[in-house]
Amino acid sequence: MRYAMAMDTKKCVGCADCVVACQTENNVPEGYCRDWIVENVDGTYPLLDLEIRSERCNHCEDTPCVRTCPTGASHVIEGGIVKVTHEECIGCGACIESCPYDARYFHPDGYVDKCTFCDHRVEAGDTTACVSVCPTEALTFGDLDDSESPITKLLKTRKWKVNAEEAGTKPQVYFLT
Amino acid sequence: MSKNVNRRDFIKTSAMGTGGVLAASSMFTWVPSFMEDSVAPLLESNAERTPTVCEVCFWNCAGWVYKDRDGNIQKIIGNEDDPNSNGRLCPRGTAGVGIYNDPDRLKKPMMRVGDPGKQEFKEVEWDEAFDYIVKKMNKIKAEHGPEAMALMHHGTAGPHFKHLFKSFGSKSEAKPAVSQCLATREAGFINTYGAGLSSPEPTDVKNTKCLVLIGNHIGENMHNGYVQEVSHAIDRGASIITVDPRFSTVASKSKHWLPIRPSTDIALLLAWMHVIIYEDLYDKKYVEQYAYGFDELKAHVASYTPEWAYTKTDIKPEDIRKSAYEMAKAAPSVIIHPGRHTAWYGDDTQRMRSIAILNALLGSYGKKGGYYFAEKAKLPSYPHPEYPHPHWTWKDLTKKDGYKGAIAGVTNVIREASLPGAKEKYGHEYKGWFIVATNLIQSVPDQEKTIKALQNLDLVVVVDTMPMEITGYADVILPEATYLERYDVARVAQHRVPNIALRMPAAEPKWDTKPAWWMCRELGLKLGLEDYYKWETYEEVLDWQFKKVGSSLDEMKQIGVKLFDKKKKLYLDDGEDYFFNTNTGKIELYSTDLEAMGYDPMPKYTDHAQPEDGFYRLIYGRAPMHTFGRTINSPNMNDLMDENNIWINPKIAKIWDFKSGQEIWLQNQDGVISTFPIKIRVTERIRHDSVFMVHGFGHKNKKLTRAYGKGASDSEMISSYKIDPVTGGTGMRGNFVTFLTENPHKKEQV
Amino acid sequence: MKERLFTSGRDMLNIDPVVNAWHWEIPAYLFLGGLAAGLVFFASFYYLRGKEDQMPTAVKIAPFIAPIAIVLGLIFLLLDLKHKLYFWQLYTTIRLDSPMSWGAWTLGVVMPLSVIWPLLYLDDLKKYFWNRNIVIYEIIDWLEKLINDFDFTKTIMGWFKENQKAIAWANIILSVILGVYTGILLSAFNARPLWNTAILGPLFLTSGISTAAATIMWMAYDHYEKVRFSRIDLWLIAVELFLITHMFMGLSSGTSASMDAAALFLGGPYTVVFWVGVVGMGLLFPAVLESMELLGYKVPIAIPAFFIILGGAIFRFVMVDAGQFSKYFFQ
């Protein structure tokens, strides 16, 4: 099993529903977020390009955050989901420094927190909270090892890119362009 | 230990070649229970859920409210059966939790202490507040008649108060939203097709091949079902044509973006008509069968060539032609979308007429991928005696102002008729207002006039959940329970399939807040209107209504949304006879009604003022995470966006030596200066002659602890407005601002 | 014009707009670790070479600073933790892939050993401080009496003395590990292009040794030893300059991310503090002074020593701060 997410930049309007759905689903404290919206503008009026992306932890294949964690709090579970066991985390910040995507943050209680791909929902056969609310259905979550899954098909038929490929972490959030 | 749940997973090190499985420290992972993580995600299957209808915007999506282990509302998600949301709420709906949790909410009834204008209030019990209101209302009734009471409202609480007002003997009510929003659109369509569009508008975006958006920034306004269908359209490769001086989100997803010079939209629409008629691209069969006045229209648009339009709009003739061909290619699966906030420049009914006519030429009305015929369920009203007949209503006053095409109460007219000396002008005057869930200070242009009217009234009652600017002008403030804590009138929305939806409380009202139905009933009883309130709780009313349509309150609590069988067809068959509810029974390209009322029967282009040197046209709009000014203080939504900024083109920024993030103050053409500074966003996404800001920020009420002083208020800068002569709609896009880099309020503070 | 912004209002403490998870604690910890490693290394090295009496400061005196530096370093590390009550989780596992993990373990092991070493030279230390009229000698005196008061402590000390060679060997190995650790801790973080260079490890190692050498040079009372360490320091400075040059050459010829990282020091916000503070004040200036000293001019040795130590500290602060500033910028 290899969980991944595809994010369709053609459809996303940057409404941030994914952000707030994650916050209410996962009790993310006020002022923090596990996913966020980035807007890139390029060009000169009126020849312009705008790309909007919903970003989050990339649940990389190669996980520098897990590698640098001194206690094993950061770990990988089935399907390649990267998680943090709060009670093992000492809050040293090593994983934050090692993430090219700045996807981790210190929870006000001290431990490091991040996107879990809503593993509690996925385990129950559901999809992630952000995917389930996305009004434009720009987000697709699924198993890349399953050749029939919508995400596999999307990645076969659409052009895509990943963020900070040169960081070499093999990220698993794909941006359809 | 519950922590061992995590241990069940395998721990992988994917490091530099070490690979393999390294079991880390399983013998050391014991953790004292007090140290265990208390914040766990919600398990939906174990949680309690209740149906709701969202109140964060008028789209009123149906959803489910989930509570956590401690019985607190944790999250809200969409109802799968709901055609408005299709099971997916927008960010504001998802963030609705914050509206319930906001610690700044109004908590107890309050009454003014001392002079009006002084913002000093004391907390009172509900009875004391009601007694005061009833005494005042009875006095107004005795001296001026019950008609002198007016109701300004917005949202779902409105119908409860409308019932109270009608029972009392007044039919004067207005939704400020209508005058600025739908009034001109509805008038435009009624005068063309004999029917308005209503809400949610029956545009078949889901099936369209070409969607034309004029100043319609869908995606930034999160009209939920509409956004969803636009996304489907993008998926299907439908072409989108966006006309906007700003590179809006949807402009970035469009095949054609026409960066128009603001205020020249009618020129573009006329040129499109010209191309479509004179290049024989219109739907001849459709026009012949359904339309009236084609020859007149053809003659009328003869001179409106793309070359002529170029001089007005800044859009190159070939781009006007290309986009017209694109529409014609897709016809009849094409939508020239009318949008919602349609009062812009004072000739708005005519602009909406142009849009309606263009759709008719392309034969899209009543066609798949164009406009479908929406259907609405019928829910009978709970029996009550006939309402008394008022001697006069808003209509009589509106006629005096000459807005013959007005379709609903005009906020502006009610305000005029509340000013000192109104009686001489109108023969009548208003002495008391109920303001329900609408912040008139921010939502109606010309704040000074609104305040003058408010100070002239004998009674101002404000019903709201939050302390807004308007609550400062109230004599009595009634704290309303939020939509998550109350029963309300059932939602009966038009859609492809007729349906009803239930809103019920998910939690007890916080503090001493009450639902609107309770307030109205209590007031009704105290006013001696018990015949109109022959029920104890609103559950009785709902149950009675639901049973009339073959359901019940119990069933609705389980399902939230009920769909009914369709009785109407969605689209016209090819060549099917159809009677349009106009004078001629046809689609009136040439409006006989408008002509009879003395207006232009066909839309004409007029030049509007352009900014003077050093001034820029103020364009305001929406951000997807907020609904006007209402949600700025709500914790979750504030978290997503807590202030607005002003978009300035880099060329202009260079002239002024501005940097992104710098704070400036705004001053408009009438010398009005913004109370608060606003941060600059230097961006290519805006034309050089305009600036853009998101509406609703710059709140002045200090009790809004999150929103106070954050960003600037566009409403404050809108002191000039152009009134649409047909409907009385207030066009607010004719305001211009310049920038102040020094704090203009410094001197006053000393 | 290019714009990149968060539209969902993201502004998280210590993360936005640039990562700032590590403040002064980590660079201070790295500096102290490097210093301790150098001191322990020199002491053991010259002891094993039988130069105990030729290099009395290095072998007998200066090492007393090492345990103090290490304890302080560990305190700073603890201060850096945001989930402090859980610090013991560091010692429930050894994760070889995590420099933070084996660094913490190394420090944990080095610390007791570094305490033993000065205990073997309490007499010399007492004399050193007595001569300089520094009241620490009273504490040492009390400590000496305490050890002599009990048989078992005397036995243990005796055993240490007998096995000093073994301890020295262990020290050498551990100090090298510690030194390397303080160097490569940062370069293990590929996500920060500035740190993501193989040269940073040797550079920090050299810089750590050089601060230790400067400390010994400063404390030395013997002319031979002073000159010796002056020379060592000059060499180390030369190596550092060489490595710095190479680091910039490497970064500047790398990916756009590493070029951006190098630009932080080549015209960017860290230019002045790096070239003036670290290279000028911390390397070139003391090098000139030491060369003059070696050529026979009278220069108070404290001045170059102080600047080397200060430069070494600034270097770590700058690298940690600038590294967090540098990132992969994806359009």
Q: Render pLDDT for B158-173 as a digit per residue (tens, 0 to 9).
A: 999 999 999 999 998 8
Which tokens hold the place of B78?
């969409």
With contacts defined as CB-CB under 8 Å, which chain B residues touch C84? none
Least confident of A138-152, B345-359, C187-201: C187-201
The rounded distance, in Å, linking the Cα atoms of B230 and B224 is 10
pLDDT at C136: 83
| Shortest distance, CA A105 to any CA of chain B (angstroms) | 16
Kindly tell me if the per-residue pLDDT of B69 is higher than 80.
Answer: no
Amino acid at B415: R
> For tokens 């996925």, what's the residue?
A122
Kindly tell me if the per-residue pLDDT of A162 is higher than 90.
Answer: yes
Using one digit for the tens of pLDDT, what is the confidence trace for C256-283? 888 889 999 998 889 999 999 999 999 9
Indicate the pairing of strand B678-682 with strand B730-731.
unpaired
Which tokens hold the place of B30?
């014991």
Using one digit for the tens of pLDDT, what is the confidence trace for A13-72? 999 999 999 999 998 998 999 999 999 999 999 999 999 999 999 999 999 999 999 999
Kindly tell me if the per-residue pLDDT of C219 is higher than 80.
Answer: yes
Chains that touch B (3 or more CB pairs under 8 A): A, C
With contacts defined as CB-CB under 8 Å, which chain A residues touch C1? 41-44
Kindly tell me if the per-residue pLDDT of B9 is higher than 60.
Answer: no
With contacts defined as CB-CB under 8 Å, which chain B residues touch A134? 88
Residue B378, judged by CB atoms within 10 A of its CB (0-12, 13-18, 19+), counts as exposed
| Shortest distance, CA A142 to any CA of chain C (angstroms) | 24
pLDDT at B490: 95
Which tokens hold the place of B285?
């069969």
pLDDT at B174: 87
- Helix H or strand E segment including B6: helix B4-7
The rounded distance, in Å, linking the Cα atoms of B364 and B329 is 12
With contacts defined as CB-CB under 8 Å, which chain A residues touch B222? 13, 15, 135
Kindly tell me if the per-residue pLDDT of B14 is higher than 50.
Answer: no
Least confident of B206-210, B728-732, C249-253: B728-732
Distance of CA B24 to the CA centre of its chain: 55
Using one digit for the tens of pLDDT, what is the confidence trace for B611-661? 999 999 999 999 999 988 889 999 999 999 999 999 999 999 999 999 999
Confidence of residue B24 (pLDDT cuts 50, 70, 90): very low
More confident residue, C229 or B443: C229
pLDDT at B21: 33
The rounded distance, in Å, linking the Cα atoms of B552 and B188 is 39
B647 touches chain A (CB under 8 A): no
Q: Three-class SS of residue B559?
A: helix
Q: Three-class SS of residue B614?
A: coil
Minimal-distance CA residue of chain B relative to C11: B639
pLDDT at B23: 34
Using one digit for the tens of pLDDT, what is the confidence trace for B533-551? 999 999 999 999 999 999 9
Do A70 and C101 count as a contact with CB atoms less than 8 A apart? yes
| Shortest distance, CA A135 to any CA of chain B (angstroms) | 5
E strand residue ranges, B671-711: 678-682, 690-694
Which tokens hold the place of C7?
């539209």
Kindly tell me if the per-residue pLDDT of B506 is higher than 90.
Answer: yes
Using one digit for the tens of pLDDT, what is the confidence trace for B82-127? 999 999 999 999 999 999 999 999 999 999 987 766 678 999 999 9
Angle at which helix C151-162 crosses helix C136-149, to 10 degrees, equals: 100
- In angstroms, the Cα distances linking C221 to B70, B568, B602, C132 are 71, 104, 104, 11
Quick check: bond before B146 cis, omega within 30? no
In terms of phi and psi (left: phi > 0; alpha: psi -120 to 50; beta: otherwise), the region of B87 is left
Chain C residues in contact with chain B using a Cβ-Cβ cutoff of 8 Å: 1, 3, 7-9, 85-86, 89, 92-93, 95-97
pLDDT at B15: 29
Q: Three-class SS of residue B215?
A: coil
Please report, rounded to a whole number, the percentage of residues in chain C having pLDDT higher than 90.
Answer: 49
B682 touches chain A (CB under 8 A): no
Q: What is the mean pLDDT of residues B483-499?
A: 94
Do A97 and C92 count as a contact with CB atoms less than 8 A apart? no
Q: What is the mean pLDDT of residues B170-185?
A: 84
Using one digit for the tens of pLDDT, what is the confidence trace for B275-323? 999 999 999 999 999 999 999 999 999 999 999 999 999 999 999 999 9
pLDDT at B20: 31
DSSP for C221-263, please give it.
-SHHHHHHHHHHHHHHHHHHHHHHHHHHHHHHTS-HHHHHHHH
Q: What is the mean pLDDT of residues B186-208?
A: 93
B228 touches chain A (CB under 8 A): yes
Cβ distance B523 to B164 under 8 Å? yes
pLDDT at B27: 39
Kindly tell me if the per-residue pLDDT of B1 is higher than 50.
Answer: no
Question: If you ran DSSP here, which 8-state letter would residue B192 be given?
Answer: H
pLDDT at A107: 92
E strand residue ranges, B88-191: 110-112, 121-123, 149-153, 173-174
Residue environment code for C135-163, b if the CB has 16+ CB neighbours within 10 A, otherwise e: eebeebeeebeeeeeeeeeeeebeebeee
Kindly tell me if the per-residue pLDDT of B748 is higher than 80.
Answer: no
Do A19 and B235 count as a contact with CB atoms less than 8 A apart? no
Q: Three-class SS of residue B131?
A: helix
Confidence of residue B45 (pLDDT cuts 50, 70, 90): low
Centre a 10 Å sphere on the Cβ of residue B136 and count the other Cβ atoms it contains.
20
SS3 sequence, B434-455? EEECCCHHHHCCCHHHHHHHHH
Angle at which helix C99-119 crosses helix C65-80, to 10 degrees, equals: 150
Closest Cα partner for B459 from B126, B165, B161, B135?
Answer: B135
Cβ distance C138 to C64 under 8 Å? no
Residues 56-115 of A with CB under 8 A from C: 64, 67-73, 87-94, 96-100, 102, 104-106, 109-112
- Beta partners for residue B562, in sequence order: B500
The rounded distance, in Å, linking the Cα atoms of B472 and B478 is 12
Centre a 10 Å sphere on the Cβ of residue B30 and count the other Cβ atoms it contains.
11
Angle at which helix C164-187 crosses helix C25-48, to 10 degrees, equals: 150
Question: If you ran DSSP here, which 8-state letter would residue B726 be given?
Answer: T
Of A45, A109, A132, the CB nearest to B649: A45
Indicate the pairing of strand B722-723 with strand B561-563.
unpaired
Q: What is the mean pLDDT of residues B16-34?
A: 39
With contacts defined as CB-CB under 8 Å, which chain A residues touch B82? none
SS3 sequence, B457-510? CCEEEEEECCCCCHHHHCCEEEEECCHHHCCCCCEEECECCCEEECCCCCCCCC
The phi, psi pair for A83, rounded to 5°, reads -130, 165
With contacts defined as CB-CB under 8 Å, which chain C residues touch A104? 15
A29 touches chain C (CB under 8 A): no
Q: Is the dihedral of CA B531, B536, B540, B542 positive or negative?
A: positive
pLDDT at B117: 60
Chains that touch A (3 or more CB pairs under 8 A): B, C
Of A32, A41, A98, the CB nearest to C191: A98
pLDDT at B747: 67
Which tokens hold the place of B637?
């939504």
Using one digit for the tens of pLDDT, what is the confidence trace for C83-119? 988 888 888 888 888 888 888 888 888 888 889 999 9
The rounded distance, in Å, linking the Cα atoms of B262 and B582 is 32
Closest Cα partner for C177 from C258, C103, C265?
Answer: C103
Residue environment code for B544-579, b if the CB has 16+ CB neighbours within 10 A, otherwise e: bbbeebebebeebeeebbbbbeeeeebbbeeeeeee
Kindly tell me if the per-residue pLDDT of B32 is higher than 70.
Answer: no
Do B228 and A137 count as a contact with CB atoms less than 8 A apart? yes
The rounded distance, in Å, linking the Cα atoms of A124 and A128 is 11
With contacts defined as CB-CB under 8 Å, which chain C residues touch B35? 85-86
- In angstroms, the Cα distances linking B264 to B135, B312, B349, B706 are 52, 6, 14, 38
Distance of CA B200 to the CA centre of its chain: 11
Kindly tell me if the per-residue pLDDT of C324 is higher than 70.
Answer: yes
Do A89 and C12 count as a contact with CB atoms less than 8 A apart? no
Kindly tell me if the per-residue pLDDT of C197 is higher than 60.
Answer: yes
Do B88 and A62 count as a contact with CB atoms less than 8 A apart? no
> For tokens 């939704």, what's the residue?
B175
Kindly tell me if the per-residue pLDDT of C321 is higher than 80.
Answer: yes
The rounded distance, in Å, linking the Cα atoms of B735 and B617 is 6
The rounded distance, in Å, linking the Cα atoms of B317 and B274 is 12
With contacts defined as CB-CB under 8 Å, which chain C residues touch B642? 9
Residues 51-110 of B with CB under 8 A from A: 74-78, 88-91, 94-95, 97
Amino acid at C147: I
DSSP for chain A, please give it.
--EEEEEETTT-----HHHHHHHHHHTPPTT--SEEEEEEEEEETTEEEEEEEEEE----SS-HHHHH-SSS-EEEEGGGEEEE-GGG-----HHHHH-TT---EE-TTSSEE---TTHHHHHTT---HHHHH-TT--EEEEETT-TTSHHHHHHHHS-EE-TTGGG-----EEEE-
Least confident of B173-187, B603-617, B694-708: B173-187
pLDDT at C66: 93
Least confident of A63-72, B613-622, B734-743, C150-159: C150-159
